[in-house]
A and B are shown apart, each in its own frame.
Chain A
Amino acid sequence: MSTLTSAHSLWTLAADTPAERIPAPVIEYAQLAPTLIVVGAAVVGILVEAFVPRRSRYYVQVFLTLAALASAFAAVVGLAAGGYGSTKAQVAAMGAIAVDGPALFLQGTILLASVVAVFTFAERRLDPAAHGNRVDSFAAQAASVPGSDSEKAAVKAGFTTTEVFPLALFAIAGMLIFPAANDLLTLFVALEVFSLPLYLLCAVARRQRLMSQEAAVKYFLLGAFSSAFLLFGIALLYGYAGSMSYAVIADVVDGTITKIDPALADTMGNDVLLLMGGALILTGLLFKVGAVPFHMWTPDVYQGAPTPVTGFMAAATKVAAFGALLRLLYVVLPGLRWDWRPVMWAVAIVTMLAGAVIAVTQTDVKRLLAYSSVAHAGFILAGVIATSAEGVQSVLFYLAAYSFVTIGAFAVVTLVRDAGGEATHLSKWAGLGRRSPLTAAVFAVFLLAFAGIPLTSGFTGKFAVFSAAAEGGAGALVVIGVLSSAIAAFFYIRVIVLMFFSEPKADGPTVAVPSPLTMTTIAVGVAVTLVLGLAPQYFLELAGQASTFVR
């Protein structure tokens, strides 16, 4: 009893000392609900791994994941309906996280995209059953050495890596925070929270495991490298402004704060620090969006990762990273517009051109889509550069449109299979339209959307970003963007031609009949593509209403 009291007196004693008092942080739980739900579900998912019997884990995890994503999405909708996207937009959690229009819109997009991506994670009908057990795209036991006896034993025992679901949830949680992060430290933590699970997810392919692991290692190494840049940039910016907070840094950039922290008297307000720090943070973010010359991981990782993970990563990472980039450029560095705009111009141009040009000679459909995603990053950058509300609106719309097309396209890739798993070499896709007209037609819809053909979401998105860029005075950028689109159209249409106008190969792949899960993913992809292409007005307005950042 006495020990308890003395322990208690220790705490109270500390609190009673006025000089040492640390104010209890105020956390707006309701406003952070979307993220908290996902994180909570991820933690529960780990407990499920530990305590639920192996046989029912898959079902529990799938249910838990989908339920968490759905309720998180409901929370986002609730917040948006409550006016947090517009009138009541504010900074929560002691200035760490913004709750505003762009954040809610992007979180909603990430959550919806994650739902359909999780459907492809949970698909268990594509691979032939191993030893009577239905299997998904993930290794039986990720830790076993490829080709070893322990792997064979794991396959025989019917193990599955159900850890992918909590991993995905952690990644999603990080992605939800990333575009909402309102100080540099939160930004970095969010980056790591969503990156580390992604590295793992890349490594757990069931087929071609060595390639998968190689991709994961590369992704990890380069990701760590880029994180280092980002962290260094954060340090420099802190040195410049004496604060991690976006709002404070922005004020220092504007010159509205002149009080100099005595500890930083030598560095504060030094523009070289600001410029270098800003450039380094940009580097870190450009790595995540896959802009040239920080794109080189994309083809290797997209190809090696399990295809459902590739789809998820290509869509959700891009949304989150562009969200963070927008916030950085529009909230922290608007005063520096004349410094970063020319540089970003160059990056956008190189990205569009390089992505489109290199894709022309690709022979693997996953690599083709990887370069296509590089080119698309360039198109989105054109919208980012507009530095206007229309620019934000167009980028938000583009990201929403692009994620569903991407996940849908990678979902179709999982269906086309031969004896070695997915048949991703383009030569094997020859004549697919003759044998599986529906699959080929759906893929053609996605390709046309990528190419930006009217009546698809791709056209609306591209039109929005280019017109925003043109209004923002970036006419030359738009011309190059349109030229790159023309080059890009070549390789998209070439695949369509290949599918529909080439003779099928005798030993060509077959199209597996998926469960309703993947079918839903693909159907949602097609539906979103067409709806955003035919009647985009409502969604454009939604993105327009969500285009104001809180500061």
Chain B
Amino acid sequence: MENLIALLIAAPLFGAVVLLCGGRRLDKTGHWIGTLLAAVSFGIGVVLFADMLGRSADERTLTQNLYTWIPVEGFQADMAFQLDQLSMTFVLLISGVGTLIHVYSIGYMEHDERRRRFFGYLNLFVAAMLLLVLADNYLLLYFGWEGVGLASYLLIGFWQHKPSAATAAKKAFLVNRVGDMGLSIAIMLMFTTFGTFAFTPVFGAVGETSEGMLTAIGLMLLLAACGKSAQVPLQSWLGDAMEGPTPVSALIHAATMVTAGVYLIVRSAAVFNAAPDAQLVVTVVGAVTLLFGAIVGCAKDDIKKALAGSTMSQIGYMILAAGLGPIGYVFAIMHLVTHGFFKAGLFLGAGSVMHGMNDEVDMRKYGALRTYMPVTFVTFGLGYLAIIGFPGLSGFFSKDMIIEAAFAKGGTEGWILGGVTLLGAGITAFYMTRVMLLTFFGEKRWQPDADGHEPHPHESPKSMTIPMVILAFGSVFAGAFFEIGERFLKWLEPVTGYSHGNPPVSAMTVTAATMVMLLVGVGIAWAMYGRRPVPVVAPRGSLLTRAARRDLYQDDFNHVVLVRGGEHLTRSLVYVDHSLVDGVVNGTAASVGGLSGRLRKLQNGYARSYAVSMFGGTAILIAATLLMRAV
């Protein structure tokens, strides 16, 4: 059975190779090949899942060692995979949601002449992401990590003819490099500390390692997670990444890739459990991002950017939960899965709306779409209810668990973190209600597009709506399914461990408080956008709104501190290079050239001079030999 693991990755990888190298003759069939191979991967995942369920909890881990990837003495890296419950969860999510989004893209990208390439990139992404979650060592994980970074870069910049898309791709790539540096440093630290970077030996050796080193490794892993998962301070790329086609935003920048950071932290649980300081930083990063993303999401008029802010915020929840240690690991992953469903659904819904509205993204130019796009409305609405935590839907269970876990952390920390998560729940309810109201309710505020075409909103084709319906099912039922009988907890506990913590208040109280926050958030949104007509041109807004529209000045901050600072550093280095380094280099070159020119003159073409040189040489040789003996 373990031999199937490599096939999980091989299928989409094969698809990527075929589609990217196959050339134009695959233009007509390329999207089907890509979708089929993603589905094959999902099918294998299901088979492995069924097999895994058939075994008892402590025999569920499968390993497959393909070959030794880097065989250097003392530095062994295997091309080896490890499939446990955690990886399995990701495999199903990645290949399942991935397949749905492939199907959706068939319709969405129908008129794009580079569709084959798009599917090639999607397949490449799926393969890299599966490699990331299946690797049994950090080096191989890093390979997958870079692979998804590459796929993300290619897909954000897919419409490279738009300068904004090209810039966004570059920005995502550069910001991610900072995080990647963290991962590579973490791996180097592991290698110097443990002499290996395979999961099992590293986690086994944690007990004998100083806490300082573990904290350093943990912080570097967190830096990596911040890059990939768009957490403060490396969050700035995610909003711009919405320049990519909407299926990309749904798959990579909402459901799967951006959760890689959460995976990394949960996977490295052993390291973080032994480094409380690093854990504290993780929760702080999560809490800050949670609020940051939520506030940004409140002010955006671009539907995808509002959703991107929401993604950032929800991943903040997951990171925060992961930082709580064994109290939160399971719920971080559970929220990750439910979020994968409803956020992908919301993005696909957004894409469907844009599809019907001449690719308009400004929500102020939507309105009253519920009757024109009923399927989109219903599926989007269910996703909306799920994310705000409407009782009984997916998000309700998973988010509630995180809030409870945050309180269960105990002490002042617990109260602060719990308070932040509660506040976040309220803001989530506000901004998502805002999106809902602006898009589907109220007056028609449709505007002709740049070419003067009036929008004629219509429901999207079946290939787009069916994935949305399936994801809506997940949004509705996944949470309850996981929660009943604590299925998800029992499933993951053998891998991540679980501790109940010591909640200062009862679970019922927390749930009630969450409900209150939800109602307040929805109520304010209704008061602002439901009762009153919405202006087509955004009003100036308060100071906070203006700041949030500019992503809380993240880019200005980066520009002033990093770009300017970097420029100054570069300039001074260039100066040193020109004056000092070049001076030495050019001086050396000039003196070698001059010496060469002079020595050349010895070669005057006369045999007699050559003979003299030989004679002199021989004399010196003899003299030197005799002298050596004399000395």
Contact = CB atoms under 8 A, between A and B. Distances in A.
B596 A296 contact: no
A342 B624 contact: yes
A490 B592 CA distance: 11
B506 interface: no
A296 B593 contact: no
Contacts of B611: 221-222, 225
B603 A296 contact: yes
A173 B133 CA distance: 66
Contacts of B600: 358, 361-362
Interface stretch (B2-10, B315-323, B553-561, B612-620): B612-620
Contacts of B595: 357
B629 A271 contact: yes
Interface in B589-611: 589, 592-593, 595-597, 599-600, 602-603, 605, 607, 609-611
Interface in B163-177: none
Nearest to B626: A275
B596 A287 contact: no
- If over half of A's interface residues share one DSSP class (helix, strand or loop), that class is named, otherwise mixed; here it is helix
A318 B480 CA distance: 83
Contact of B596 (A275, A278, A346, A361): A361
A280 interface: yes
A283 B607 contact: no
A260 to B, nearest CB: 21
A342 B630 CA distance: 13
A267 B617 CA distance: 26
A232 to B, nearest CB: 10
Interface string A238-271: 0000000000000000000000000000000001
Contacts of B622: 275-276, 279-280
A329 B597 CA distance: 35
Contacts of A338: 628
Contacts of B602: 296
A360 B592 contact: yes
Contacts of B617: 283, 292-294
Contacts of A339: 625, 628-629
B201 to A, nearest CB: 31
Given A279-B625, A338-B628, A343-B628, A487 B603 contact: no
A300 B600 CA distance: 12
A271 B625 CA distance: 11
B614 A487 contact: no
Interface size class of B (residues with CB under 8 A): 20 to 34
Contacts of B624: 342-343, 346
Contact of A361 (B593, B614, B616): B593
B574 interface: no
A357 B592 CA distance: 6
Contact of A357 (B596, B610, B613, B629): B596
Interface size class of A (residues with CB under 8 A): 35 or more
Contacts of B618: 229, 279-280, 283
Nearest to B605: A300
B593 A218 contact: no
A173 B592 CA distance: 41
B599 A358 contact: yes
B599 A343 contact: no
A343 B626 CA distance: 10
Contacts of B629: 271, 275, 339
A47 interface: no
Nearest to B591: A357
A457 interface: no
Q: Which of A300, A339, A342, A357 has the most CB of B within 10 A?
A: A357
B621 interface: yes
A299 interface: yes
A282 interface: yes
A278 B626 CA distance: 11
A365 to B, nearest CB: 16
Q: Which of B602, B605, B622, B629 has the most CB of A within 10 A?
A: B622
B576 to A, nearest CB: 22
B190 to A, nearest CB: 29
B383 to A, nearest CB: 54
Contacts of A293: 613-614, 616-617
Nearest to B595: A357
Contacts of B628: 338-339, 342-343
A300 B609 CA distance: 13
A226 interface: yes
B257 to A, nearest CB: 36
A294 B610 CA distance: 8
B223 to A, nearest CB: 33
Nearest to B620: A293
A343 B607 contact: no
A343 B603 contact: no
Nearest to B599: A358
Given A221-B611, A282-B621, A283-B617, A276 B593 contact: no
Interface in A328-359: 338-340, 342-343, 346-347, 354, 357-359
Contacts of B593: 360-361
A300 B613 CA distance: 15
Q: Which of B593, B609, B621, B626 has the most CB of A within 10 A?
A: B621
B607 A218 contact: yes
B607 A275 contact: no
A225 B609 CA distance: 13
Contacts of A222: 607, 610-611, 614
Contacts of B616: 293
A342 B623 CA distance: 12
A10 interface: no
A219 B442 CA distance: 101
Contacts of A300: 603, 605
Contacts of B596: 357-361
Given A357-B595, A357-B596, A272 B626 contact: yes
A297 B610 contact: yes
A441 interface: no
B363 to A, nearest CB: 54
B625 A340 contact: yes
B625 A294 contact: no
A329 to B, nearest CB: 13
A445 to B, nearest CB: 25
Contact of A358 (B603, B605, B609): B603
Contacts of B625: 275-276, 278-279, 339-340, 343
A426 interface: no
A276 B610 CA distance: 22
Contact of A287 (B607, B609, B614): B614
A335 to B, nearest CB: 13
Given A221-B607, A343-B621, A360-B592, A226 B599 contact: no
A226 B614 contact: yes
Interface string B489-526: 00000000000000000000000000000000000000
A271 B622 CA distance: 13
Interface string A280-291: 101100010000
Q: Which of B589, B609, B617 has the most CB of A within 10 A?
A: B617
A67 interface: no
A217 interface: yes
Contacts of A218: 607, 610
Given A294-B617, A300-B603, 4 more contacts: A221-B607, A296-B603, A343-B625, A357-B592
15 contacts: A222-B610, A222-B611, A272-B626, A275-B622, A275-B626, A283-B614, A287-B614, A294-B617, A296-B609, A296-B613, A339-B625, A347-B621, A357-B596, A361-B600, A490-B592
- Across the A-B interface, give the 6 residue pairs with the lowest CB-CB distance, nearest first: A293-B617, A296-B610, A360-B596, A361-B596, A279-B622, A283-B618
